[in-house]
């Protein structure tokens, strides 16, 4: 274990390899499915945000034929699960952000994304701000939804942070 890399992807790989031997094909199959599900989530987000359905379809086609995403879906790297977690959270916030349960689920999913790769960390304040600012309810409800998002995220990463505090004497993801 390396404290610079979050543990979720490595632990997931270890679990798959312990069950299926080398398991490369199993991991690749799961990542290909996550890549295709990410494309669907991207399309649903684009449908919600873009005024023309053709633009969302063009975005979907570009997503599906992106050489980098196709390649990463076959590597044993955390990029595809990380992208899936991020797009799932965005989909929850953009398409279902008026529901408190969806906002909490988005916080959990972003927490899982952070446990996969720390690249999302700078986006967390932006996502909290989006939850608060872009919601069309009263300010108290907006702030409470932002707090629900942040709390769900924090509760998701807290066990790893406590384990790192215990083993590495640093409270970090």
Residue 5, classified by CB atoms within 10 Å of its CB into exposed (0-12), middle (13-18) or buried (19+), is: middle
pLDDT (tens digit per residue) in 16-38: 888 888 778 889 999 999 999 99
The model scores a pTM over 0.85 = yes
For the chain, percent of residues with pLDDT exceeding 90: 65
Give the range among 2-6, 18-22, 71-75, 138-142 with minimum mean pLDDT.
Answer: 2-6
- Cα(138)–Cα(163) distance, integer angstroms: 39
Q: Work out the average pLDDT over 59-70.
A: 96
**pLDDT (0 to 100) of residue 2:** 65
Top-confidence residue, 24 or 89:
89
pLDDT (tens digit per residue) in 143-158: 999 999 999 999 999 9
- Cα(129)–Cα(1) distance, integer angstroms: 33
Q: Is pLDDT at 87 greater than 60 in this prediction? A: yes
Do residues 116 and 11 lie in contact, with contact meaning Cβ atoms separated by under 8 Å? Answer: no
3-state secondary structure of 88: helix
**pLDDT (0 to 100) of residue 16:** 87
For the chain, percent of residues with pLDDT exceeding 70: 98
DSSP string, 7-45: SHHHHHHHHHHHHHTT-HHHHHHHHHHHHHHHHHHHHHH
């Amino acid at each position: 274990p390396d404290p610079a890399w979050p543990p979720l992807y490595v632990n997931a790989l270890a679990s798959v390899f312990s069950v299926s031997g080398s398991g490369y094909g199993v991991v690749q199959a799961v990542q290909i499915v996550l890549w295709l599900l990410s494309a669907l989530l991207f399309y649903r987000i684009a449908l919600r945000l873009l005024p023309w359905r053709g633009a969302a379809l063009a975005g979907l086609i570009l997503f599906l034929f992106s050489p980098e995403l196709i390649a990463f879906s076959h590597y044993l790297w955390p990029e595809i699960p990380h992208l899936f977690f991020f797009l799932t959270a965005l989909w929850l916030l953009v398409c279902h952000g008026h529901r408190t349960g969806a906002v909490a689920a988005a916080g959990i999913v972003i927490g899982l994304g952070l446990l996969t790769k720390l690249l999302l960390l700078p986006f967390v304040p932006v996502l909290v701000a989006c939850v608060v600012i872009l919601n069309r309810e009263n300010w108290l409800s907006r702030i409470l939804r932002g707090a629900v998002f942040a709390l769900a995220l924090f509760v998701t990463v807290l066990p790893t942070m406590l384990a790192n505090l215990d083993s590495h004497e640093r409270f970090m993801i």
